[in-house]
Structure 1
Amino acid sequence: MTLNLFDQFNSPVVLGIPLVALALLLPWLLFSAPTSRWVQNRFAALQGWFMFRATNQLLLPLNFPGHKWALMFMCLMLYLITLNVLGLLPYTYTPTTQLSMNMGLAFPLWLGTVLIGFRNAPSATLAHFLPEGTPTPLIPILVIIETLSLFIRPLALGVRLTANLTAGHLMMHLVSLAVYLLLAQLPAVAIISAVLLVVLTLLEIAVALIQAYVFVLLLSLYLQENV
């Protein structure tokens, strides 16, 4: 029995070498390599259809200058989806349950959108800090609030992804532990818990897909405000 439920989120180490680097590099091996053929296989066709539909949805609210980010957004979403889903397999590790990694992804991309706004339209970007028609006594308060709301965006991105995946993994761990302990004493309750575990696993797969999409979608909305 695990003494600490959060031990499962520690990076596995073999011979003093953390295996988180291997987990971060593994997703790229699962994608189809480009070839000169029109149609490769069913998996590549399904992957291409998914990328086309997802790109269309992500670029729908963006202006034309923001379409330059399409390739990076799609690569990021596929990368996060693969990491999240692979982390649900037994004896695996989910790097996206670490706040440090999620912040390392969220902060540079958010900062890039802000810098693009200051470069392309500095006046419009600065105008976001003070809405038009604000009464004079409220100007300092609104500037502080808008500044805090701007700088809290990358933290919200990282914490949202970390919290959702961590909560799902903890629930699966608790339910599976209950099934293991009740199997010998209360088989009927253990079977019901096992059914709940299957449903929870399917829900966690959906959460893994949705959270990756939400992460990239929010980045695209931040970019929309600055292009």
Structure 2
Amino acid sequence: MTLSFFDQFNIPHILWIPLIAPALMFPLMILLITTRLLKSRHLALQHWMTQNITKQLMLPISPPGHKWTSTLISVTLLLTSLNTMGLLPYTFTPTTQLSMNMALAVPTWLMTILTGLRNQPTISLGHLLPEGTPTPLIPMLIIIETVSLMIRPIALGVRLTANLTAGHLLMQLTSTAILAICSTMTLTSLLATLLLIMLTCLEMAVALIQAYVFVLLLTLYLQENI
């Protein structure tokens, strides 16, 4: 019974074809459809949200890093679409897979590191050793800072996976309990349904916030290397 709760995180297949491919193409389909809706309320709302998110993301970044705006906002919109898409019935959330999130976290984190090594190698390497460190502690601090630097992409991927997985699992546990007691404990099932609605709203907020936090941390990493 316990294993069945985690079946929702398995990649579904139809005729031995994984459905993660069309799931990843869904944001592109939205883009192709919305480009035809010229001067519509939907396009105006999308443009307003994208503009405000871009302003918030670029606030901590100095002007030389603004050339990465299109890349960062593209990752934000991709994660937002994939996270929220999983809340629809009979759908699959690609971002509940750690492999998917690590495939996004590692290249983008490596992008910030390579940018720093190319533009300011001395300052980037200087982050591994704080100024004024006593000589006997230098080897230990270099190892600690290097490990903390390498953990950053793992933290990005695991944070996104854990938050979405926990929310989806809690919603499934609640819905399963409602179905089990609806015929015997009607009032309790109604109260649990209200709780499920609140959990759905919370999960929608988590899906949006986690996409924003993922890219916000990337902007902070980028600011250290420009």
Deviation at 1:75, TM superposition (A): 1.1
Q: Aligned ranges for residues 174-213 of structure 1 at < 5 Å?
A: 174-213=173-212
C-alpha separation in 1, matches of 2:59 and 2:7:
41
Given the two structures, how large is their TM-score scaled by the length of structure 1? 0.96
Structure-1 residue corresponding to 2:168: 169
Q: Which residue in the other structure is 2:15 paired with? A: 15
Once residues 54 and 226 of structure 1 are traced to their aligned partners in structure 2, the CA distance between those partners, rounded to angstroms, is: 22
Pair 1:216 & 2:215 matched: yes
SS of 1:4's equivalent?
helix
* Alignment match, 1:130: 129
Secondary structure of the 1:184 match is coil
Deviation at 1:3, TM superposition (A): 4.6
Match of 2:70, SS state, is: helix
Percent of residue pairs bearing the same amino acid type? 58
- Where does the alignment leave 5 or more consecutive residues of structure 2 unmatched? none
TM superposition shift of 1:207: 0.2
Q: Given the superposition, is the C-alpha separation of residues 178 and 121 from structure 1 closer, same or farther in structure 2, using an over 3 Å criterion?
A: same
Match of 2:52 in 1: 53
TM normalised by structure 2 equals 0.96
CA gap of 1:182–1:33, structure 2 versus 1, over 3 A, is closer
Structure 1 unaligned runs (5+)?
none
Deviation digits for residues 176-210 of structure 1 (CA, Å, limit 9, x no counterpart): 00000010111111111100000000000000000
Q: Indicate the SS of the match to 2:167.
A: helix
Give the structure 2 partner of residue 118 of structure 1.
Answer: 117
Task: Tell me the alpha carbon deviations over residues 90-123 of structure 1, each in whole angstroms, 9 at most, x when there is no partner.
Answer: 1100000000000000000100100010000000
- Inter-partner Cα distance in structure 2 for 1:104 and 1:34: 28
Q: AA paired with 1:54?
A: I
- Alpha-carbon separation, structure 1, partners of 2:169 and 2:120: 45
Match of 2:40 in 1: 41
CA drift at 1:4? 2.2
Give the aligned partner of residue 96 of structure 1.
95
Name 1:62's counterpart in structure 2. 61
1:213 partner letter: Y
Q: Could you say which residue in structure 1 is the equivalent of 2:6?
A: 6
Q: Distance in 2 between matches of 1:173 and 1:33?
A: 32
Moved more, 26-35 or 153-162: 26-35
